[in-house]
Amino acid sequence: MYKLALGVLVFLTLACPATAKDRLHTVKTWMYQLQDLYEPGAWAALARTGYDMLVIEPGHNFAQWPYDTATMLRVLRRKPDGGNRVLLAYIDIAEAEDYRDYWGPDWVAPRGNRPGTPDFLISEDPDGWAGNYPVAYWEPAWQHLWLGQTGIVADLARLGFDGIYLDWVEAYDDDAVRAAARVARVSPEAEMIRFVERLGAAGRAVDRRFLVVAQNAPYLLDAAPIRYAAAIDGLAVEDTWFHGQGDRDWNDPRGGDRRDRHDGAYETAARLAQIAKFRARGLPVFSVDYAMKPANVALVYHEAPRHGLVPLVTRVALSRLTGTPPPWLDSDR
């Protein structure tokens, strides 16, 4: 009886990872789609794949054309082989999006060098994404939208997401945001780390295993290595090898294969050296590069695993199931 019980215990331990981070360490393939999830057949197409993790856009809080996020999660929860996927909600934590239901009728978008209303709206998106506006993320009025029992993060946890995938963590390094931080006499690095901690706490108040994956901003780790590594469960990085211009359609050739921003601290070698610091602290790292040319796609899928990354190659529009999946993905498993 003891041996049987011990065997069952070992089986359960292996079948049910002990910590939230362990769930991410089991991910070998992932898919990232934000746009056009309202299109007929989009959920079914994702559900048929064998991806271990999906990063997807919650659509229930769109001001126009919302979709049923809870039903989408039920459709996507299980892989064709019956295993559970990790489902992460993409959220933009340092840009206000004028197509969300939190955008008030009296809000005024920033234009040029003029801030908007409310006054946490700082500037226009520097990468050209329409309807997105960097914010003073340390302001209580902005954080109130996200935190607490009635905030966006708790709502996502109750809907059934396993965690959140944080975009625009790099806001701390944006010139306009840093200028606003100087006026407010706050440290943009410290305030971003504090906000990430609070976002994670809001999710774990609903689900203690709630995950936090931060996208980009790898150099934020240097501001407070122990504290920031403890605030997140994983890192995702864009553009390690190739990037695309923002707000491009799926078939626009400018949506990938570009390397014109890879210099200085953002050269591929420098990025990989910084990313290695996260790996050294036991954090899984997911990479997404935007490329269409077969040679570039092959390069990413060859190089990324050599550096311990879990890679995806797609297009910057993020509006379809990628046509360049990892070569080791078995869609029928």
CA 146 to chain centre: 16
Are 288 and 237 contacting, i.e. CB atoms less than 8 angstroms apart?
yes
pTM: 0.92
User: Which residues are CB-neighbours of 175 under 8 A, at least 6 positions away?
Assistant: none
Tell me if residue 1 falls in helix, strand or coil.
coil
Which pair of structure tokens corresponds to residue 276?
A: 């290695």
Between strands 234-238 and 285-290, the pairing is parallel
Which residue has tokens 């078939």?
251
Q: pLDDT tens for the chain, 333 residues: list them.
A: 333 343 433 333 344 444 666 889 999 999 999 999 999 999 999 999 999 999 999 999 898 888 999 999 999 999 999 999 999 999 999 999 999 999 999 999 999 878 999 999 999 998 888 899 999 999 999 999 999 999 999 999 999 999 999 999 999 999 999 999 999 999 999 999 999 999 999 999 999 999 999 999 999 999 999 999 999 999 999 999 999 988 899 988 899 999 987 788 889 999 999 999 999 999 999 999 999 999 999 999 999 999 999 999 999 999 999 999 999 997 433
